[in-house]
Chains A and B, each alone.
Chain A
Amino acid sequence: MKPAWQLLRDDAPSPIREAQLAVNRRQFFGKSATGLGIAALSGLLGRESGAAPHHPARAKRVIYLFQNGGPTHVDLFDYKPELTRLHGQPVPKEYLGGKRFSTMTGDPSGKLMLQPVEPFHQHGSSGAWVSELMPHLGAVADDLCFVKSLHTDAVNHAPAISFMLSGAQLPGRPALGAWLNYGLGSPNEDLPGYVVMTSVSKGTTCGQIFYDFYWGSGFLPSRFQGSKFRGSRDPVLYLSNPEGISAPLRRGMLDDLAELNQAKFATSGDPEILTRIAQYELAYRMQSSVPELTDLSSEPEHVLEMYGPQVREPGTFAYNCLMARRLVERGVPFVQCMHAGWDQHNSLTTELYTQCRDTDQPSAALIKDLKMRGLLDETLVIWGGEFGRTPFIQGNLENRPRWGRDHHPYAFTVWMAGGGVKPGISYGASDDLGFNAVDRPVHVHDFQATILHLLGIDHERLTYRFQGRYFRLTDVHGHVVRDLLA
C-alpha cells in the first residue's frame, strides 16, 4: 500500500476518493462489512508500514526535544570569548552597521555586552565547546551535530514556535509531525503516529502556554495531528473499559460503530467521519498499548538512573525523555517533547540553572540510551528552541541576580544527533559576539528541508492541496544543508 501522500499526490483529496480508498482497502483485506476491523481500518489512517519515501531514508523516527522560550545560545553552546572580554562595554559600533537587531530591543546602541554566566570547556575528540551548565551533554558532545548559524523570522514566542514547527508564523499550517504522519505513516498501529508530551520545570515563573497548534494538523485531515499525552500517572484518561464491558464486547460495539458510521459517510460524504472511525479504532488499540508503554517495571535500574532523579515523576522532562525512547522503540515515528521556561529576560543566574538541571541529564541519557540499543542510527534527535537570546544584557549589570537577555532571532544554536547527521561536528557560525549568523547561515526552512531529507522526503514534493494551492512545510523556500548529512 502506498502512503496517503502518494495516493493523493497527483489528485486532490476528496471525500469520494477517500470513500473509494476505503472500499478498496476493505476489499483488499478481504473483510466483509461486519468484520471491518483493525486491519482494514488502519488503512484509513494512512499509516501503513513499508511506505516508500522519495529516496532512501537515513532516519525513520524523530524525537524533537523542543525547548520553548528561546534558550540562550551564548550561555550554553555558542562559545564567544569576546563577550567576556567586552563584558560591561557598549555594543561595538562595527556590529551595528548595516545589521538588523531585534525590534523588541529597539535601538541596540549603548546596550552593554554580557559575558556567559558560566565558563565553557571543550569536550571529546571533537573539541566541542559546551557550558558548564550542561555537563552531561558535554560528555556526549562527540555524538552531537551543532548548528550554530540558525536564524528565524519571528521574534515572539508563539509565532516563532509555530514557524519552527509548521513553517508559518500564524497558526493553521500542519506541524512537522503532522506532515510526517501524513507522508510516511507509522509502522505502529496501536499508538498514535505523532505523540506530544510537555513539561515545565517546577518553581519557575514561566507562564508560557502550550498551544494546541504546536502539534496541529492545520488543513491536513485532523487524524494527522499530534496526540498529547498528559503529564501524570495516567497519560490518557478514560483508557479502561467500563466495568462489565469485556474486551470482546467492546470489539463488537466498535465493529457496529464503524459499520454505522460508514453508512453515514456514504450518505453525507463528510471526510471527518472517516477520521472519526479511525480514531475510535486507534482508541481501542491504545487501551492495551498505553498501559504497556508506561509500565516502567521492565526498565533496569541503571537505565532509570541515567535519566536522573526525576525520571519516575510523570510530567517531568526526564520522564518524557524516557517515554520518548519507549515510544520510538515501539515504532512511533514522531515524538515531540516540549519543555517550557527558557525565557530568561531576568533570570539568567537563577531559573536558567533550573532549566539546565532538569534537561541536561535526561537529554544526554536519551542519546546514550538510544545508542546502546542501536536505535540512534535511525532516530533523529533534535534539541532546540524558537530563537536565541541577545548577546547584550537585559537588565542592570550591577544587579547580577536579575541578569537577563532578550529574544534574538538572528543567530541561535540547535543540535541534532543520530538519524544520518554527522556526529561530532559544528556547522556554521555566528559572528564573534553571537549576534548574526555569518558563516553558512541556516534558515528555519533550510533546517526543515534537511529534516525531511533525512527522513527520505523531498521537501518540495511532500505537498497537500488546499484551497486551490499546493502547500508544503517549507512554503516556497528551503535548501537541504547537505554538509550536515553523514
Chain B
Amino acid sequence: MRHPRTIALLLFLTTAAASAAPGRSPDFTRDILPILSDHCFQCHGPDARNGRKGDLRLDDETDAKRERADGHRVIAAGSPEASELWARLSTDDPEERMPPAKLSRELTTAQRDLIRRWLEDGARWGKHWAFAPVTRPESGDGSRHPIDTLIERRLTGEGIAPNPLADRETLVRRLSLDLTGLPPTPEDTKMFLLDSSPGAWERLVDRTLRKPSFGERMAWDWLEAARYADSNGYQGDNERTMWPWRDWVVKAFNENLPYDQFTIWQLAGDLLPEASREQVLATAFNRNHMINGEGGRIAEENRVDYVMDMTETMGTVWLGLTLNCCRCHDHKFDPLTQKEYYQFTAFFNQTPVTGSGGSPQTAPVQDWSSPELDARLARETEAFHAVTKELEQLEARSWPPGTEALKALSGPALAALAKKPGSRSREDWTTLGVQLGNANPDWARVQGRWTTQRDARDGANSAIPRVMVMEDLKTLRATHLLDHGLYDQPRDEVKAGVPAALPPLADGETANRLALAKWLVRRDHPLTARVTVNRIWQMFFGVGLVKTAEDFGLQSEPPPQPEVLDWLAAELMDSGWNLKGLIRTIVTSETYRRSSVIASVEIHERDPENRLLARGARFRLPSWMIRDQALAASGLLRPLNGGPAVNGYQPPGVWEEATFGNKKYSLSSGEDLHRRSLYTFWRRIVGPTLFFDSAKRQVCQVKPLRTNTPMHALTVLNDVTYVEAARALAQRILLTEPTDGARFALAADLLWARSVTPGETAIWQRALDRAGAMFAADITAAEQLLAQGTSPRDPTLDPRQHAVWTTLCLTLLNLDETLTKE
C-alpha cells in the first residue's frame, strides 16, 4: 500500500473533486455534500424516525447552522474553530470523534481538509446538483460544437489531448450500430465513403435517423426499462399480449413523438381529454409489471405490489431515484420521506385492478384487433348462431311437448333439454349425448357441429389481442402509508403529491397521473431531462455521463462532465423534447466521432473508464445486436416489423425444465426465425437463452450489464443461430463474387464496412486451406454442418466449398472486432 494520504489525494484528484484543487473554493454541491451524504447522513440525515442521532441534521442548512442550547454551533460559518463539526472530525479522542469508528465511515485527510476550507470560506450551502434546476452552461461562441467545447474544456484543464477522429469506415459502422442496431449495408457505406463534400457526415446521420430500424433499436432499451415481457412471470407465467404496445413504442421513436408527449401518453394517456386509441395503448407501459397468479396469494397484497412496481418504475425511468428504499423508511440519503413515497403511490393506486386472478388480460384492457380478426370473430359468431338455431329447431321437431319421445327421457335429460344450448353444462351434454344421440343420429351430427363452431368462435375471440392499459376508478381509492411496506399494515392516509424537495404540481390541477406526467416534463423539473439524456448518452458511449443511470440521488457518482449533461438536458427541453434532434446533436460532435484506440498508457491509467471522454467508446455490442448483425450481414434478416412475438432457436428443454414441463417450447418456422431480436418471445421466468447480459425483464432496469465470460464465447461459437448465419453469409459471398480476393473484400465490407489487410487475409486463406483439407476427407461432416438451421441452401453450391467458407464465416462472426463497436 502507498501512504494513505497519497491514496486519498489521488482518489480525490481523479474523481469527484478534481476542480476543487488548492486555491479554488470547495463547492458545496460538488465537494461537500457527497462527503456529508456518504459519511454522516446515516445518523444525521433526512430519515427522522429510524436512528437519527444527537438531534442534528446535516442535510438541512437551518438545523446544521442553528445555535444549540449551550450556545455552540455545529457549523459556524467562517470559523472551523468555532464549529463543532470540525472539532468532531479532527479530535483524537475516540469517544468524540466522528464518524464513530465502529461505523467504518472515517473521512480521509483530504476530505477533512475540504470541509475545513469550506467552513473557512463561509460554509455556503447548496442543493445536490441533480435537484438544482437545469441551466444551460455557457458553451463557447458557436464556432465549435458545444459538446466538444465543454468536453475539451475539462480535458485541457487536465492536460489531456483528445484522440483524433476515427476513420470514416469505422464511423459508418459505429453510427449504424448505434442508431439502428444493424451494420451498414454496402450501399450505405459506399454512399458515405464517396461523399467527400462538406456535410457528408450530417447527411449520413439524417439518412440513418430516417430508417425504420431506428425505432426498433431505440425500443430495445426502452423495453428493458419498462420491464416488458410476453408473459406474466412467477409460477404459471401465463402468456400476455402486450406486443401492440411494443409496436407503438417503435412507431413513436420513428415518428419522433416529442419526449414530453411520449412521457404523458405512457403515464397518463387515458386521462387526456378525448384520448385517442393510441394514447390509451401507450399507458400499457404501466401494466408491463409482473402479475402473480399463484393460488393462495392475497389479492390485495398482489395489487399493492403492482402499485409499488408502477411507482418505482416511474421513479427510476424519469426521476432517476431509488424510491424503493422508502417503502419501509425515510430515504437514508435523498430528501424523500416514506410519506412522500406513498404520496407517489397514490397516483397509481386508482386502477380497478384488484390483484386477484392473475389473468394476463386483466381489465382494463384495450382490444387491439384488426379488421381481419374482427371479421373472423363476426363470421364465427354468426355461424355459431346459425348452428345453434339449427340445433334448437331439430330438438323442438324431434322431441315436441307431450310426445312419447320426450317422455322416454330421464329427469336430468329433460332438465338439460329445457335449457338453451349455450347454457348447458358439461354434465348436461354428457347426459343428452347418451339419450338423444343414441335415439337420433341427426341430433348427434348437429350437436357435433355446434361444439366445433363454439370452439371456433371462442378461438376467434381469444385471438384478439387485449392489451392491459390504465384507467382510474370513478371513486378514488384511499391510499395509506404502509408500515414496512406491508399491505395489511396501513397507517396514516396520504393524498397524491410530489416530494417537497422537487418543484410542486401545477396549481389548480387535480392530483392525478396526468398531473404527475405533466409535472415530470415541466421545464423547471431538475431530473427528467438529465436522466433521459444520460440514458441516451449511455446507449452510444457505453457509460452514462452519470455512471449510475438508475440513481441520480446523493449516493450517485458526481458526473465528471456535469456541464455536458446540463447542456444536453437544456437542449432537449428547449428543442421541444426532440429526441431525434438530441441524438443528432450528440452524434455530430467530434467527441462522438473520436477514435477509440487506446493510444496513451498514461491517459488510460488516469482515466481507465474514459469518463473524461478523450477517446471514442469501444465496447462489446449487446447480445441482441450481435445476433441482428449476424442476420443482417448474412442476408437472413427478414424486415417484418411488429406483430406477435416469435420463438427463435433455443436448446431443447429449457422452458420445460424451468416450468416443470408446463410450458413447451415450439420453435417458430420460416421467416419468423430470422426476424429482429426485438420480436423474440420473452418468457419472464426464463428469458431467451442466447441473449447474455440482458436485463431480466422482471423489474425496471436501465443500466446495461457487460461481462466477458466463456459462456458468451460458447454461444456465438455453437448456437445454431450463428452457425446458420455463417452458412448463409458464406453462400452470399460465394454467389456474389467469383474470386477468393473479392470474397474476402465482401466479407469485410458486410461485417465491418472496411477493406481487408493482407495480414488478415493470409490467415483467412490458411483457414480455408485447413478446413478444405478436412472436408475433402469427410463429405459427411460438410453435409452435417450445412444442414444446420432451417433456411434453405442453394443446392448448386459445392457442399465442400460451402462448408469450408461456413467455418471461415463462423470464425469471422466470433472476432472481437465483430462483437465490438469500435
Contact = CB atoms under 8 A, between A and B. Distances in A.
A34 B770 CA distance: 13
Contact of A264 (B555, B717, B810, B817): B817
Interface in A201-259: 209, 212, 216, 219, 222-223, 225, 227-228, 232-234, 236-246, 248-250, 252-253, 256-257, 259
Interface in A440-486: 443, 445, 460-461, 463, 466-470, 472, 475-477
A463 B763 contact: no
A16 interface: yes
A79 B620 CA distance: 52
A170 to B, nearest CB: 7
A261 B707 contact: no
A127 B609 CA distance: 54
B10 A468 contact: yes
A44 to B, nearest CB: 13
A280 B818 CA distance: 14
A236 B711 contact: yes
B785 A237 contact: no
A240 B717 CA distance: 9
Contact of A270 (B11, B618, B803): B618
Contact of B705 (A212, A472, A475): A212
B814 to A, nearest CB: 6
B11 A469 contact: yes
Interface string B709-731: 11111110111100100000000
Interface stretch (B339-347, B433-441, B505-513, B776-784): B776-784
Contacts, number: 206
A239 B760 contact: no
Interface stretch (B63-71, B180-188, B473-481, B600-608): B600-608
A282 interface: yes
B710 A14 contact: no
B418 to A, nearest CB: 47
Interface stretch (B1-9, B220-228, B369-377, B629-637): B1-9
B819 A276 contact: yes
Given A15-B601, A236-B711, A280-B713, A241 B718 contact: yes
A16 B770 CA distance: 33
A192 B710 contact: yes
B604 A15 contact: yes
Given A233-B657, A260-B760, A103 B785 contact: no
A41 B771 CA distance: 23
A227 B597 contact: no
A25 to B, nearest CB: 19
Nearest to B47: A103
Contacts of A16: 601
A237 B689 contact: yes
A159 to B, nearest CB: 10
A212 B380 CA distance: 50
A180 to B, nearest CB: 17
Nearest to A287: B714
Contacts of A470: 1-2, 7
Contacts of B714: 236-239, 283, 286-287
Interface residues of A, number: 78
A282 B555 CA distance: 38
A103 B822 CA distance: 48
Given A261-B815, A280-B814, A252 B803 contact: no
A260 B815 contact: yes
Given A272-B708, A280-B713, A263 B759 contact: yes
Given A106-B49, A237-B689, A257-B811, A227 B771 contact: no
Interface in B611-670: 618-620, 651, 653-654, 657-658
A461 B712 CA distance: 33
A227 B819 contact: no
B214 to A, nearest CB: 28
Contacts of A243: 784-785, 787-788
A353 to B, nearest CB: 18
A1 interface: no
A468 B15 CA distance: 9
B103 A153 contact: yes
B4 A476 contact: yes
Contacts of A350: none
Contacts of A463: 1
A244 B786 contact: yes
A261 B811 contact: no
Interface string B60-89: 000000000000000000000000000000
B124 interface: no
Contacts of A222: 706-709
A242 B785 contact: yes
A276 B620 CA distance: 10
A253 B726 CA distance: 13
B245 to A, nearest CB: 25
A243 B784 CA distance: 6
A122 interface: no
Nearest to A212: B705
Contacts of B718: 238-242
Contact of B763 (A259, A268, A287): A259
A308 interface: no
Contacts of B609: 467
A227 B599 contact: no
Contacts of A192: 709-710
Most A CB within 10 A of own CB, among B696, B708, B720 = B708
Given A103-B329, A242-B785, A245-B807, A260 B763 contact: yes
Given A14-B604, A237-B715, A268 B618 contact: yes
A267 interface: yes
B713 A106 contact: no
A170 B786 CA distance: 49
B766 interface: yes
A241 B714 CA distance: 9
Contacts of A303: none
Interface string B785-822: 11110000000000000010001001100111101101
Given A243-B787, A468-B606, A477 B708 contact: no
A276 B816 contact: yes
B13 interface: yes
B785 A283 contact: no
B354 interface: no
A270 B617 CA distance: 11
Given A252-B767, A268-B822, A475-B104, A242 B329 contact: no
B598 interface: yes
Contacts of A283: 710-711, 713-714, 717
A237 B10 CA distance: 44
B394 interface: no
17 contacts: A104-B50, A209-B696, A223-B708, A225-B708, A238-B714, A244-B782, A246-B774, A264-B817, A270-B820, A279-B713, A283-B711, A283-B714, A460-B1, A468-B11, A468-B14, A470-B1, A476-B106
Given A222-B706, A237-B651, A244-B783, 6 more contacts: A34-B766, A209-B698, A244-B785, A256-B763, A269-B597, A279-B709
List of 5 A-B pairs having minimum Cβ-Cβ separation, nearest first: A244-B785, A269-B598, A244-B784, A468-B10, A283-B713
